[in-house]
Structure 1
Amino acid sequence: MNPWIAKGRQWLVGAVTMLVFLVVWEAVVRLLHVRPITLPPPSAVVDELSSEWGWYLGHTAYTLLTTLGGFVLSVVIGVLLAMMLVGSRWFEHAVYPLIVALNSVPKVAVAPLFVIWLGTGSEPKIAIAFLIAVFAVIVDAVHGLRSVPQDVLDLGRVLKGSTLDFFLKVRLPCALPSILTGMKVAISLALVGAIVGEFVASQRGLGYVILSAQGTFDTTRVFAAVFMLALLGILLYGSLAWAERRLTPWRRA
């Protein structure tokens, strides 16, 4: 079967499933006369978004920028740390327990500290997004760097290249599928981190929209912001999935 036809069928099934879900949601709310403050119908959410689409788009763009900032930092620093962990047994024994301990700390608990240290701008949101996302990158990158086939390692030793060349030309390409997998997990976590940061202290972003709407019991606005978050998460994850298919074509099968 043509891969484009197969992919189109997958998208069609997903779209039909989502449409059926929305139709059932609308019908249940109307038939049971559920109050909008409890559960608004999808039509009300669409009306909310269409009436103030520019306002929602601005807040979505702010959340997107902070998410990407934390994500890029997590990838760069996470891959560098993974290379150091794999390359030095001493560094692994000294630093890896600290990384695990930091990951075990609830990020909501330390989020106010980032506001104290970095202010109320975009910096604390980026820092929290980075802190939440980086561990996934480190774990998958370390797994990939250590999963290089033994015959490839032996070939690298026979060619007698430098340690840096061996990492860049042998280990890193072989670890790319695992790194990309970690990146797909990290992008979702970075979005969560950005929202956590906006919950703590922000005047912009979808997290701020949700928090302010919750304070006025505007459930429709909460659902509208959540819908934009879901759409943003799908687009970010889909972009990385597309990049993974292009960068690792041998894994398509």
Structure 2
Amino acid sequence: MSSDSATSPAKQLAPSKVAAWASAIAWPLASFAVLLVAWQLLVPMAGIPEYILPVPSAFFERLWIDRVDIFRHTLVTANEIVLGFLMAAVISIPLGYVIVSVKLLEKAVYPVIVFFQLVPKIAIAPLFVVWFGFGLFPKVLLTFLLCFFPTLVASMTGFRALDERVLYLTRSMGASAWQTFRYVRVPAALTYIFSGLKVSAVFAATGAIVGEFVGANAGLGYLLLRGTSFLDMPLIFACLVALSAVGILFSYLVDGLEVLLMPWQRKG
């Protein structure tokens, strides 16, 4: 009897989690479905020609017909997004901790970083092509620059948010500097860090596409320019769908990493 009573809450919990996941997926899909159906019906009714605004059936058909070519270019853009984002995370998070820990660096280095951040990245993108050519590196570098500052500021805010009295307590209990950093500072800062990473995940796609606009021979940005040159609106919208899919997938990966590294914030 006691065994049944102990396992019944777990049995009740599993269906509730499945229902929550199903609801989280079903509602966005339903919203997109309603939007696409309205788009499909209203555009012909309004008399808008296809070379101005194609209906969803046209660009989804193009997405299927050119799926091999679009997928190849999507992999190029996704590679640029991931590399630039990871480079920004690996550099900006430790740098945020160092700047917060060393007050002299915060006074001397942080204003310089802010100054360079104020320089429009789109304006310097052509310089990257002149300096580094049409390869992968200039797109990754531009993506890195767009992702760097939001992650740095969020990391600094997170490492600064910890109450100093907690640090005094850990020292009084004999914790080493590494133990304090591993078990106190990092968990306290993770909420802020992931807020910055989520913002950077949005900027990452922008950086990769802008870099491809300036100079590239592959990628979704290159394919968009090619479609614009020939006024191929179904191809343009097919590329936008592929780019949106990459952005959504990347955003969910960041969310999944947050759940994995912050289990104490899981609901239910």
Question: Would you call these one fold, judging by a TM-score over 0.5?
Answer: yes
Q: TM-score, normalised by structure 2?
A: 0.90
Q: Distance in 1 between matches of 2:194 and 2:23?
A: 25
User: Which of 88, 101, 107 pairs up with 2:121?
Assistant: 107
Q: 1:149 and 2:197 equivalent?
A: no
Aligned partner of 2:66: which letter? Answer: E
Say which is worse superposed, 115-124 or 2-11, in terms of deviation.
Answer: 2-11
Q: For residues 237 and 104 of structure 1, what CA distance do their matches in structure 2 show?
A: 26
**Residue in 2 that maps onto 1:183:** 197
Q: What is aligned with 1:86?
A: 100
User: Displacement of 1:150 after TM fit?
Assistant: 3.8
The reply to whether residue 203 of structure 1 matches residue 230 of structure 2 is no
What are structure 1's unaligned runs of at least 5 residues? none
* Residue 95 (1) aligns with residue 112 (2): no
The reply on whether 1:126 has 2:140 as its aligned counterpart is yes
Q: Give the greater-gyration-radius structure (CA).
A: 2
Of stretches 6-15 and 60-69 in structure 1, the one that deviates more from structure 2 is 6-15
1:118 Cα deviation (Å)?
1.6
1:23 aligns with 2:37: yes
Q: Counterpart of 1:14?
A: 28
One of 60, 70, 86 as aligned partner of 2:84: 70
Greater Cα offset, 57-66 or 91-100:
91-100
Change (3 A) 1:118 1:168: farther
Segments of 4+ in structure 1 off by > 2 A?
A: 149-152, 159-170
Q: Equivalents in 2 of 1:37, 1:202: separation in Å?
A: 25
Distance 1:142 1:249 in 2: 22
Change (3 A) 1:10 1:165: closer
Within a 5 Å distance, the mapping from 1:56-67 to structure 2 comes to 56-67=70-81
User: Residue type matched to 2:252 in 1?
Assistant: G
Matched, 1:171 2:185: yes
- 1:88-139 deviation line (CA, Å, top 9, x unaligned): 1100111111111122111110101111222210000000000000111101
Q: Report percent identity of matched pairs.
A: 35
Q: Secondary structure at the match of 2:109?
A: helix
Q: d(CA) in 1 for partners of 2:149 and 2:176?
A: 28
Residue 37 (structure 1) aligned to one of 51, 69, 73:
51
RMSD, aligned CA: 1.5
Indicate how the Cα distance of structure 1 residues 150 and 4 shifts in structure 2: closer, same or farther if over 3 A, else same: farther
* 1: CA distance, partners of 2:29 / 2:143: 30
Greater mean deviation of Cα atoms: 65-74 or 115-124: 115-124
Rounded to whole Å, the distance in 1 between the matches of 2:64 and 2:130 is: 37
Q: Aligned equivalents of 1:174 and 1:30: distance in 2?
A: 54
Unpaired stretches in structure 2, ≥5 consecutive residues: 1-12
- The 1-side partners of 2:175 and 2:110 are apart by 28
In structure 2, how many angstroms separate the alpha carbons of the residues matched to 1:155 and 1:209? 57
1:105 partner SS: coil
Report the alpha carbon displacement of residue 23 of structure 1 after superposing the two structures with TM. 0.3
Distance 1:251 1:29 in 2: 44
